[in-house]
Homo-oligomer: A and B are copies of this chain.
Amino acid sequence: MGRWEPDARGRLEQAALDLYLERGFESTTVAEIAERAGLTERTFFRYFADKREVLFSGSAILKELLVQTALDAPSAATPIEAVAAALEAVGAVLQQRGQGAQKRRRVITANAELRERELVKMASWASALADALRRRGVPDPTAALTAEAGIAVFRVAFERWVQRPKKHDLPRLIGESLDQLKAVTAGRS
């Protein structure tokens, strides 16, 4: 093992995001990322399996937060309230990441393979959220429906937020979007 480097992971993430935006994801090498971060390739591979993982390694933690928050909601909470709490908890973490989340989004939008990977990630979140609702005793199809619709709302709120992350508050945008979904479905006669 090499010597300890303060916040090596964070420095590698920031260097990678900047390089992906400057040169494109495809054209950037791990050697360049490590150099920009002032670290070695060996240190890079201690944290990430490959350069794509820099963009997706945080997803498992967010999914776990999503599931745990849904499970921890008060037992009196309705399915949509449990989902709202879960989405807002994830939103709060992304809000803190601010510019990093925005840069990540721009990198992913620019690359078809990364866009597909992001779709797979969101589908896996929806599936995990539906499972959490089932563990709360919510039957299907309500569990699947609430989870899938919740993730749809999250995506729309995230797209709005990422345009202007300093101006908007992501958890609040998620709440507003859920209110809008309620208003939209009320338009069904």
Query: Which of A's residues lie within 8 Å of B, judged by CB?
Result: 78-81, 84, 115-116, 119-120, 123, 126, 141-142, 144-146, 148-149, 151-153, 155-157, 159-160, 177-182, 184-189
Contacts and interface: CB of A to CB of B under 8 A. Distances in A.
A159 B130 CA distance: 14
Contact of A145 (B115, B119, B142, B180): B180
Contacts of A188: 78, 80-81, 84, 178-179, 182
| SS of A interface (majority) | helix
A116 to B, nearest CB: 5
Instruction: Work out how many copies of this chain go into the complex.
Output: 2
A84 to B, nearest CB: 7
A141 B126 CA distance: 21
A187 B136 CA distance: 15
